[in-house]
Structure 1
């Protein structure tokens, strides 16, 4: 009897067939994301409500229905509130309360309807100069709910309160170096635009750390403004400064002489060199600049003085205006030689505070004009929190 031929089959034919009806129908991406957000919100609600109940249990000192002499209070049901999150609003969140009304959950700050990271993000937008309207649009897109006017006010108020606490903090008794300078901004007063200068003190302590010590807004940079800032430093505990580094502004110099009489002062050599070279013709600018800069680069003060004397003698008759500018504040040009050589390159100029100003300017240029001096001060302060101030050697 002839043998049956083996029927040829393909691998696919050997596999069990799957019914098309058994393949799940996946939702569209938008629908899936909405579903996922809802699940996250529900999970967040459950966890938060559980944590708050545990907090209340610790607060009153007893579990639900427990009789114990350690009890410090009694439960009093719940109240509901909404919370905006990055996954959408959680409505009617059950917040437990005690009978005396003293319990306060640590999960969110009282009356704050936003997760902390959301509030921080909105605040950062204000700091970056984003309009209130635009902040509202972004919040609406992120959280499906726009911040109310009171929420916006609260965020700004929090920022202002933090700034006020910072500007009143006590300072150290002794600073190795103090840099003083100002940065200008535009502030809108109705339909008018005025210039406001933020007077700034940057200190270097005895452990090489740099820190912005004070900010003050003034209509102009004058003796009164600088006197107020320096008096503020004294009121907050600064009696001793080893070195003041400044430009040549008359109001600043008068204020430092009055309030920090004993502190030696270094005239910023970058500003001084620029003033001198403004009186030199372009054809000789490079040669004169090299000679002038060479004065400050001498290792010893005696050699610097010899070079300074020779420079004045060489150019006195040819460029008397340049020499006159050089001789102004001459006694404070070489003060840095009284300090360790490792410090010289850091204290010959106000570059340390100018670098700080450059960083602030990069972060605030998009604002254009501030609405008030207070907002200008607050945002400059908030901006500087993210600016790294490198250490400098002080001994």
Structure 2
């Protein structure tokens, strides 16, 4: 960040030529106290001695995580002007918009490294879900979806293995996402948990044919209760539990038929989703109750 400040002060990059009589003149070591403990930083100097760093001022021995604040505001969608105004309001000094841009650009390499890091060869469980949000583009607001793939590795640790922005789901779209995982070293995924994302089932069959596709039970319950009057919701929800809490697939199918028979007259189409997607609901019954608690929802 101080290098970005120096660039802003001199008006040219470190590798550029300039006719200015002022130029970089090495660095000076300084010990700072921070939330990470003590650390050594190299404060850049200029030939004329006119450089006044603002992130870590002269004679300042303590810092307050300003870089975290800038990155956090940037991640929340604030413009460089808005970030500059916030920094001035909170810390009492002015940051130019070009300085804010330089500071945020310095994390792009870390982001790129994260996006291309190698993966484990096998993931026991991968969850896929989408977060929908509004984006302003050229004065117009439209909806986008961030598709997140969360993997649990063989050590039981969680890891975001894919984060992509898309407008339209399709088998081709999901096949591209899953093939990217294969290209980055993922050889097998044992269980893939997702809601009824358009094209996901066909893509899984193509990219990872041995994977179990498990529909999210919570989404199944929510989508079923959409068709139910409020006064019947509690009783209906309790009946649905007899399906996904059943010990075996056979017992679960019998419970499904029983629930359907009980409510069919009043809610004729409420259970249709369960019958249509039974092949993606039933894999959960292959596992113990302990494992089911891990995979029953995204």
SS in 2 for 1:322: coil
Q: Which residue in 2 is equivalent to 1:125?
A: 73
SS in 1 for 2:106: helix
Shift of 1:175: 0.5
SS in 1 for 2:165: strand
Q: Which residue in 2 is equivalent to 1:16?
A: none
Q: Max radius of gyration: which structure?
A: 1
1:182 equivalenced with 2:130 (yes/no): yes
Q: Contact 2:70–2:104 (CA<8 Å) still a contact in 1?
A: no
Match of 1:305 among 248, 253, 276: 253
Using CA pairs below 8 Å that are at least 6 residues apart, which structure has the higher relative contact order? Answer: 1
Match of 2:106 among 142, 158, 174: 158
- Report the TM-score when normalising by structure 2: 0.74
Q: Contact 1:199–1:229 (CA<8 Å) still a contact in 2?
A: no
Shift of 1:278: 2.8
1:215 equivalenced with 2:194 (yes/no): no
Q: Which residue in 2 is equivalent to 1:60?
A: none
Q: How far apart are the structure 2 equivalents of 1:282 and 1:117? A: 49
Match of 2:233 among 285, 292, 296: 285
Q: Contact 1:86–1:142 (CA<8 Å) still a contact in 2?
A: no
Q: How far apart are the structure 2 equivalents of 1:141 and 1:311? A: 60
Q: How far apart are the structure 1 equivalents of 2:29 and 2:265? A: 86
Q: How far apart are the structure 2 equivalents of 1:237 and 1:87? A: 42
Q: How far apart are the structure 2 equivalents of 1:251 and 1:300? A: 28
Match of 1:245 among 170, 193, 202: 193
Shift of 1:135: 2.2
Q: Which residue in 1 is equivalent to 2:291?
A: 343
Q: How far apart are the structure 2 equivalents of 1:123 and 1:284? A: 48
| Structure 1 residue ranges (4+ consecutive) displaced by more than 6 angstroms after TM superposition | none
Q: Contact 2:71–2:104 (CA<8 Å) still a contact in 1?
A: yes
Q: Contact 2:243–2:256 (CA<8 Å) still a contact in 1?
A: yes
SS in 2 for 1:243: strand
Q: Which residue in 2 is equivalent to 1:203?
A: 151
Q: Which residue in 2 is equivalent to 1:169?
A: 117
1:84 equivalenced with 2:56 (yes/no): no
Cα gap change, 1:81 to 1:117, in 2 (>3 Å): farther
Please state which structure has a larger fraction of its residues in strand.
2
| Residues paired across the two proteins, number | 255
Shift of 1:281: 4.2
Cα gap change, 1:202 to 1:51, in 2 (>3 Å): closer
Q: Which residue in 2 is equivalent to 1:334?
A: 282
Cα gap change, 1:87 to 1:214, in 2 (>3 Å): closer
Q: How far apart are the structure 2 equivalents of 1:138 and 1:275? A: 43
Which ranges of structure 2 fall in alignment gaps of 5 or more residues? 1-26, 32-45
Q: Which residue in 1 is equivalent to 2:28?
A: 49
Shift of 1:51: 6.2
